[in-house]
Every structure is written in structure tokens, then in C-alpha cells.
């Protein structure tokens, strides 16, 4: 696979969606959860979507229950939660694994192209995440695996992975990088 657009994923109804449908668009691909401390980021993500979707930008939301079991429920329940609580309009896909033997190929590709570079040292949650992760794996910083919910990958119009943002990244920094690609 050469670009993100070479992959096919499943929507929340289990229907195959070729990512080539998004060819020519700037994408922000996010693994999400509905019961996480970062869940309020849905508000900021929706604002980005509303502000830039007319400029060929979209967010692809992949719920994931691998981090603290913080995305319980069915695909439809997760979708309803996001619509009701955050009024999200961007595409939401089937709940997936982003790490391990059941990870989808798209996430394997994303991680191969942009590994973990660390959390924002100024974010209040960074010490908590570092403690949790280092207890589970003292060498977690050396792995490209997704570390937590709301990790984001920025993809350019050619389907190339440009940036990876950890959940502690300031949304204004993410927006600035999106603007460079639009």
C-alpha cells in the first residue's frame, strides 16, 4: 500500500468504504472513545470539521475500545452518543483495534509512517498517561503503537501521512497544520 487512499475500511453499518472516495481531500484520522477524559475533544473536532469541510477537509472517526475500555457499546450506540452530545457530522466508522493482532491494516500503515514522538510535556494529563503506559511497558516510547484515545493522523491530498498528534496536542497546533495543507 502506497497511500491511505489504497485502503478499504468498514463503516458503522459494516459496509466497505474505499478510502479512495476521499482522494484529493485533507484527512484527520482519529481513534476515539466515548467515555474518556479526552472525549470532549469531539467539540473541537466538530468545529474544525465545520470550519474546513467546504475546503475539501474531513475527519475520519474510528472508535476504539482498547484503552481502558472507554468505547463501550455498539457502533450505533457510539454514533448516537456523538450526535446527541457533540452534534458531530464527520464520518464515523466501525469500532476497531488500532494495536495488536486485530488492528486494521490502515492503522498499521499510519503507525509505520508516523511513530510516537511523545506527549505535550505541558499537558496536565501527560504525567498520568506516562505513568499508566510505563507500568504496562517501560519501553513504550520506543514503539509506534497508538498510546491512547484521540491520537490523530494528518493526511495530505495525495494520501500521504504528514503528521501524528497525540491526544495531548493543542487543537490550535493541529488546526495550523491543517491550514498548511488546504
Spatial distance between the Cα atoms of 41 and 125, rounded to a whole number of angstroms? 14
| Residuewise pLDDT in 10s, the chain (182 residues) | 699 999 999 999 999 999 999 999 999 999 999 999 999 999 999 999 999 999 999 999 999 999 989 998 999 999 999 999 999 999 999 999 999 999 999 999 999 999 999 999 999 999 999 999 999 999 999 999 999 999 999 999 999 999 999 999 999 999 999 999 99
Grid coordinates of 34: 466515548
Instruction: Supply the CATH number for residue 75's domain.
Output: 3.40.30.10
Domain range spanning residue 72?
Answer: 4-181
Write out the DSSP string of 56-118.
TEEEEEEEB-TTTT-S-S-HHHHHHHHHHHH---S-BB--BBSSSTTB-HHHHHHHHHS----
| Catalytic-residue membership of 82 | no
pLDDT confidence of residue 65: 95
Number of domains into which the chain is organized: 1
155 within 8 A of 162, measured Cβ to Cβ: yes
Helix pair angle (75-86, 41-52), 10° resolution: 80
pTM, entire model: 0.96
Indicate the DSSP class of residue 161.
E
Catalytic option among 19, 30, 36, 133: 36
Closest CA relative to residue 165, chosen from 175, 156, 152: 152
pLDDT confidence of residue 1: 66
Amino acid at each position: 500500500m502506497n497511500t491511505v487512499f489504497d485502503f478499504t475500511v468498514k463503516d458503522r453499518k459494516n459496509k466497505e468504504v474505499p478510502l479512495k472516495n476521499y482522494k484529493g481531500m485533507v484527512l484527520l484520522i482519529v481513534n476515539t472513545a466515548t467515555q474518556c477524559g479526552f472525549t470532549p475533544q469531539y467539540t473541537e473536532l466538530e468545529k474544525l470539521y465545520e470550519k474546513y469541510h467546504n475546503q475539501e477537509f474531513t475527519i475520519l472517526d474510528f472508535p476504539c475500545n482498547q484503552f481502558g475500555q472507554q468505547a463501550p457499546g455498539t457502533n450505533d450506540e457510539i454514533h448516537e452518543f456523538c450526535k446527541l452530545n457533540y452534534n458531530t457530522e464527520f464520518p464515523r466508522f466501525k469500532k476497531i483495534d488500532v494495536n495488536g493482532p486485530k488492528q486494521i491494516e490502515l492503522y498499521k500503515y499510519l503507525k509505520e509512517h508516523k511513530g510516537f514522538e511523545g506527549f505535550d510535556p505541558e499537558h496536565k494529563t501527560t504525567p498520568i498517561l506516562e505513568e499508566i503506559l510505563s507500568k504496562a511497558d517501560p519501553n513504550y516510547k520506543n514503539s509506534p503503537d497508538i498510546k491512547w484515545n484521540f491520537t490523530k493522523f494528518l493526511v495530505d491530498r495525495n494520501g500521504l501521512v504528514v503528521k501524528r498528534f497525540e491526544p495531548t496536542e493543542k487543537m490550535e497546533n493541529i488546526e495550523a497544520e491543517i491550514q498548511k495543507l488546504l
